[in-house]
Amino acid sequence: MTSQELDALYQEIILDHYKTPHHKGLREPYEAEVHHVNPTCGDEVTLRVHVSGDGDDAIVEDVSYDAEGCSISQASTSVMTDLVIGRPVKEALGIHDEFLTLMQGRGTVEPDEEVLEDGIAFSGVAKFPARVKCALLSWMAWKDATSQALSASEATKERS
Amino acid sequence: MTVSTTSVPGLLDGLDLIRADFPILSRVLADGHPLVYLDSANTSQKPQVVIDAMVDHLERHNANVARAVHQLGAESTEAYESARDKVAAFLNAPSRDEVIFTKNASEALNLVANTLAWARGPLEIGAGDEVVTTEMEHHSNIVPWQLLTERKGARLRWFGLTDEGRLDLSNIDELINERTKVVTLTWVSNMLGTVNPIADIARRAHEVGAVVVVDASQAAPQMPVDVQAAGADFLAFTGHKVTGPTGIGVLWGRAELLDQLPPFLGGGEMIETVAMERSTFAPAPHKFEAGTPPIVEAVGLGAAVDYLSAIGMENIRAHEEAITGYALEGLATVKGLTVLGPTTASGRGGAISFELEGVHPHDVSQVLDSRGVAVRAGHHCAKPAHKRFGVQSSTRASSYLYTTPAEIDALVEGLEYTKKYFRVDCS
């Protein structure tokens, strides 16, 4: 790639999140913990979610994680936690879908800064298919953990 | 890239002429950077003579082998079988019939592991038997043996590694014992670069009657491989790492062992006769080559081993050692860089894996790529070896007979640039 493309890939926002990741570390309480791996490069993330309420009222109270991987995957995890923590689960899932669309758009999707905030920095990554999976690793882990947390709370409700 | 004026003893004579044999090396990449190809342990580049041999075969001699009576069929069979002769000579094999063409080295190793799993008689592996490998293997020399031992109720054991990245042989007499049926190991590590003492280990294995399987995927490209001197019973390598094409690998096996093993895949060309009730099989090597083989790939491989032999494997080994020594010196000047594996060029191959503090290997390789420097990042299909050194992945630079000191300089400069790019302040 050219140095111009390199700069598009590694935007300042990404390097900042890589150097100082937000919400890093594994915390209590949590309802679900998942471990996702990128088998081709070996990137790994262990991620916990803490959700309160249920159904449409469910809120993402906390997302905590322990991750190892490249700058793209680490920065993406940091940005993801900023975007979903404190939001209703339904809204956070909408942001997830928007980020997924951006990443799978091969650089043709214009990101909405209102929704994705620092996440728009990853629009450059979408042009490099080999790196898209780095950016998506923790988002996929978060979605998996959240659905596990929600179905666990559904099951508890049914039993009571 | 022109050859550096830096004087490094041991480099190949006429290095610029050798480079001219490889058309791809004159490519100019994005931003006008000349290609600096340091990923030869992954796959080597191809000289014009290999490309021409394959094109010539497809343009003038193409036909299926061993079954067509017409002139082209005879020419194609002759070309395919003469590639077997060339490989036999390259390995100093006692007989051409001991050379089996496979798809790649992985298939060659799986061929041995699977047919051993099916074997009856002296080679049979049963419950309580042991297979010994090492912690520095490529996944392709771990997984087939895990599958074999799981299926047979046998036990997989392995040599550990020293902190320097060499095999820990301190417990060899306990590890290789009367229960050991197979000892399988790589000659040269694809991650650490370590050259293992194959002949010594083979001697111990033979004392207890074990079969010795050698993964020569990284050895065959860069040093003389003599299957008889090595004391191997089976030896595998792949075409694309020895300047040949992809799609072809080699399994060499001692004739008396090949005779005792059952067939691998069933199909055309591997039979003697077929009736609906049962079949009888052709002798080796054809017993292990079912179906139409990779014909043009074999022709390319034959041309490749001829090319390497003409330059001389001893000379290539000296070149690799010189370049590796130069690279280790250069990398030692990069603050925050740690080499995984031996840090001196002796007893070491041309693959150098390293960590750069504060920058993930994928990011290192991405920034190097923007300067035309091609390296590999990841676990290099050697996850256990990475785990042994407490790392998840590494960056690997690997040289070959066409690598120049100037290319190593470009790598070292690129690494300093990478550190600046990622604001690593340890310089």
In this complex, which of A2, A19, A41 lies closest to B393 when CB atoms are compared?
A41
The bridge status of strand B180-186 relative to strand B130-134 is: parallel
Superfamily assignment of B15-46+313-421 in CATH? Answer: Aspartate Aminotransferase, domain 1 (3.90.1150.10)
Q: Find, among B361, B405, B397, B357, the residue nearest to B379 by Cα.
A: B361
3-state secondary structure of A46: strand
- What is the pLDDT at residue B4? 47
- What is the pLDDT at residue A130? 84
Other C-beta atoms closer than 10 Å to the C-beta of B310 total 8
Cα–Cα distance measured from residue B292 to residue B297, given in angstroms and rounded to the nearest whole number: 12
Q: Where are the domains of chain B?
A: 15-46+313-421, 50-310
- What is the pLDDT at residue B22? 98
- What is the pLDDT at residue A153? 77
In this complex, which of B360, B370, B423 lies closest to A69 when CB atoms are compared?
B360
Structure tokens at A68: 């190892």
- What is the pLDDT at residue A158? 72
Averaged pLDDT, A124-151: 92
Q: Do B422 and A3 touch (CB under 8 A)?
A: no
Report which secondary-structure segment, H or E, holds B407: helix B405-421
Q: Find, among B230, B235, B206, the residue nearest to B98 by Cα.
A: B235
Cα–Cα distance measured from residue A113 to residue A106, given in angstroms and rounded to the nearest whole number: 18
Phi, psi angle pair for B298, to nearest 5°: -65, -40
Sequence-ordered alpha helix ranges (H) in B39-125: 48-56, 71-90, 105-118
Rg over alpha carbons for chain B, rounded to the nearest Å, is 22
Amino acid identity of B339?
A: V
Buried b (16+ CB within 10 A) or exposed e, A103-138: beeeeeeebeeebbebbbbbbbbbbbeebbbbbbbb
| DSSP assignment string, B209-248 | T-EEEEE-TTHHHHS---HHHHT-SEEEEEGGGTTS-SS-
- Let me know: does A98 contact A36? Beta carbons within 8 Å: no
Report which secondary-structure segment, H or E, holds B157: strand B155-159
- What is the pLDDT at residue B1? 46
Strands in chain A per DSSP E:
32-37, 44-52, 59-68
B320: β partners: none
Q: Do B378 and A41 touch (CB under 8 A)?
A: yes
B376: nearest CA in chain A?
A41
In this complex, which of B359, B361, B367 lies closest to A6 when CB atoms are compared?
B367
Report which secondary-structure segment, H or E, holds A51: strand A44-52
Structure tokens at B245: 């094409």
Chain B environment of A19 (Cβ under 8 Å): 423
pTM: 0.93
Report which secondary-structure segment, H or E, holds B313: helix B313-332
- Let me know: does B267 contact B287? Beta carbons within 8 Å: no
Cα–Cα distance measured from residue A44 to residue B387, given in angstroms and rounded to the nearest whole number: 14
| Chain CA centroid to CA A153, Å | 22
Cα B243 to Cα A124, B45, B116, B281, B318, distances in angstroms = 36, 6, 31, 33, 18
Cα–Cα distance measured from residue B418 to residue B99, given in angstroms and rounded to the nearest whole number: 45
Report the top-level CATH class of B50-310: alpha beta
The bridge status of strand B373-374 relative to strand B376-378 is: unpaired
Chain A environment of B30 (Cβ under 8 Å): 1-2, 5
- Residue B237's region, left for phi above 0, alpha for psi from -120 to 50, else beta, is beta
Half-sphere exposure of B221 (CA within 13 A, CB side): 32
Cα–Cα distance measured from residue A119 to residue A80, given in angstroms and rounded to the nearest whole number: 8
Mean pLDDT, rounded, of chain A: 92
Q: Find, among B130, B317, B345, the residue nearest to B225 by Cα.
A: B317
Structure tokens at A58: 């469910």
In this complex, which of B30, B363, B369 lies closest to A70 when CB atoms are compared?
B363
- What is the pLDDT at residue A1? 83
B366: nearest CA in chain A?
A6
Chain B environment of A6 (Cβ under 8 Å): 366-367, 370, 421
> What are the per-10-residue average pLDDT scores of chain B (427 residues)?
65 97 97 97 98 98 89 95 98 98 98 97 96 97 98 98 96 98 98 97 98 98 98 98 98 98 93 92 95 97 98 98 97 97 93 96 95 94 92 95 98 97 76
Cα–Cα distance measured from residue B39 to residue B31, given in angstroms and rounded to the nearest whole number: 20
A136 in reach of chain B (CB within 8 A): no
**Shortest CA gap B385–chain A (Å):** 13
**Quick check: A127 pLDDT over 70?**
yes
- Cβ burial, residue B356 (10 Å; 0-12/13-18/19+): buried
> Which amino acids of B are annotated catalytic?
381
- Let me know: does B197 contact B218? Beta carbons within 8 Å: no
- CB contact set of B42 (below 8 Å; sequence gap of 6+): B376, B398
- CB contact set of B394 (below 8 Å; sequence gap of 6+): B191, B340, B353, B354, B355, B361, B377, B378, B379, B380, B386
Q: Do B377 and A40 touch (CB under 8 A)?
A: no
Q: Give A30-82 pLDDT, tens digit per residue.
A: 999 999 998 777 789 999 999 998 888 899 999 999 999 999 999 999 999 99
Would the CATH topology of B15-46+313-421 be identical to that of B50-310? Answer: no
**Beta carbon pairs, A and B, within 8 Å:** 55
Cα–Cα distance measured from residue A131 to residue A8, given in angstroms and rounded to the nearest whole number: 13
- What is the pLDDT at residue B93? 98
**What CATH number belongs to A3-152?**
3.90.1010.10
A74: nearest CA in chain B?
B360
Q: In the 8-state DSSP scheme, what is residue A124?
A: G
